[in-house]
Amino acid sequence: MDMLIKPSFLKGRLDIPASKSCAHRAIICAALAEGTSILSGVSMSKDIKATIDAMSALGASFEVNGDIVTVNGIKNPCKNAVIDCNESGSTLRFVIPIAAALGADSEFQGRGRLPERPIDIYKRELSKNGVEFVSGEMPYKITGKLQGGKYEIEGDVSSQFVTGLIFALPLLEEDSQIVLTSHLESRPYVDITIDILRRFGISVEENENGFMIPGGQKYTPHDEKIEGDYSQAAFFYVANALGSEVELGNLNENSVQGDKKILDIINEVCYNGNVSSYKVDCSDIPDLVPILAVLGAFGSGESVIYNAKRLKIKESNRLETTAALLNNLGGDVEVTDDGLIIRPTGNMHGGVVDSFGDHRIVMAAAVAASRIDGEMIIKGAESAEKSYPDFFKDYKQLGGNANVIVLE
């Protein structure tokens, strides 16, 4: 699907859809609790459906009615499971150790760039603790039952490995320890995990080396309203900084989501309708990089994004594709080893841009389109559905001029 967008500021009120990060975690916790949990406010994106399908394959059952998901937790885990993760890295990395903890011989399937996203940490650490990777490439096949013990995890690859183990290890009889061998990047995502686990009855003890997870714990059913997603709100906060007037709702002011940092950044660099420049460490907020780059492209000076090397293995090489997006529109963005340098040109014009199959590139492009001089065509705009299925519906309701076209 290709989308033609004509410049138009956005105006109105918008309730931000549920946090994908929170929804993934609540769905998994509810599925692991023996009993019924009701999750409300869930936005049914492709990634969230992948997690629901994964936990269904392991023995949970789900009833979806609009934005309400009723979860009946696993009573008798399936002994063999085929788990289709679609393109969701969160689903894959969260569920592998859970399946192993439940003793389910499992096959993990995926598509898009998911087969390229590394799971070497699991291959190494799970293999030390009772699990065999029968197939080292996707579709991954595992057999055996996970055992408690010591897990040495690099913190600067992806916090998803830490979260996956924190889900799984409480299910084991033995106590376990996660030892971080390098600085934990994207720490706020682990904070979200621990926060939601606590509400489902699971305790995790932090120490100077990582985390201690007592064994023999049981997940308890819990009804949860999923809070709004600051990573999605960020697109509209930046649109506002560039001249739009969107009032945002369904956001928790006390949220532990790391992407809430967008508010601090905008407050620091935007004043009286003008955007200055910034230098931002994105090690804890990698999802903000594309929209931060858009903000910088309309600034008054050189902006720098650093500590974002892990974006090379997202749905696209998100450093390269963010730069390509803005450079095709008259920007001057340089890719560095671990980030971007954005130099405003004052000449952002229309053009044809590629989504590269990446939902965050699509949404960043749409925000840029509201401010550039000329029309924009986004090729593959349907990629936004991965995390925000109603993005263009909401965009148009706010006055955005976006229409599907057919390119010859």
- CATH number of the domain bearing residue 357: 3.65.10.10
Residue 12 and residue 61 in one domain: no
- Collect all residues with Cβ–Cβ distance below 8 Å to 54 and sequence separation of at least 6: 83, 84, 85, 91, 95
The model's pTM: 0.88
Kindly state whether residues 117 and 248 are assigned to the same domain.
no
Q: Domain span at residue 181?
A: 20-225
Domain count, the chain: 2
- Kindly state whether residues 75 and 12 are assigned to the same domain: no
Residue from 204, 222, 198, 253 nearest 30 by CA:
222
Q: Is the dihedral of CA 257, 176, 94, 287 positive or negative?
A: positive
Is 358 labeled as catalytic in the residue annotation? no
Cβ–Cβ under 8 Å, residues 283 and 185: yes
Residues 191 and 250 in one domain: no
Instruction: Mark whether 25 and 6 lie in a shared domain.
Output: no
- Same domain? For 178 and 258 the reply is no
Q: Are 61 and 175 within one domain?
A: yes
Examine the domain organization and report whether 209 and 277 are in the same domain. no
- Asked which of 199, 225, 251 is the last residue of a domain, the reply is 225
287, 354, 358, 394: the active-site residue: 287
Shared domain for 206 and 262, answered yes or no, is no
- The amino acid sitting at 274 is N
Let me know whether 130 and 11 are in one domain: no
| Judgement on whether residues 354 and 219 belong to the same structural domain of the protein | no
Per-residue pLDDT of the chain (408 residues), as tens digits, is 999 999 999 999 999 999 999 999 999 999 999 999 999 999 999 999 999 999 999 999 999 999 999 999 999 999 999 999 999 999 999 999 999 999 999 999 999 989 988 899 999 999 999 999 998 889 999 999 999 999 999 998 899 999 999 999 999 999 999 999 999 988 999 999 999 999 999 999 999 999 999 999 999 999 999 999 999 999 999 999 999 999 999 999 999 999 999 999 999 999 888 999 999 999 999 999 999 999 999 999 999 999 998 887 667 789 999 999 999 999 999 999 999 999 999 999 999 999 999 999 999 999 999 999 999 999 999 999 988 999 999 999 999 999 999 876
Could you tell me if 203 and 233 lie in one domain?
Answer: no
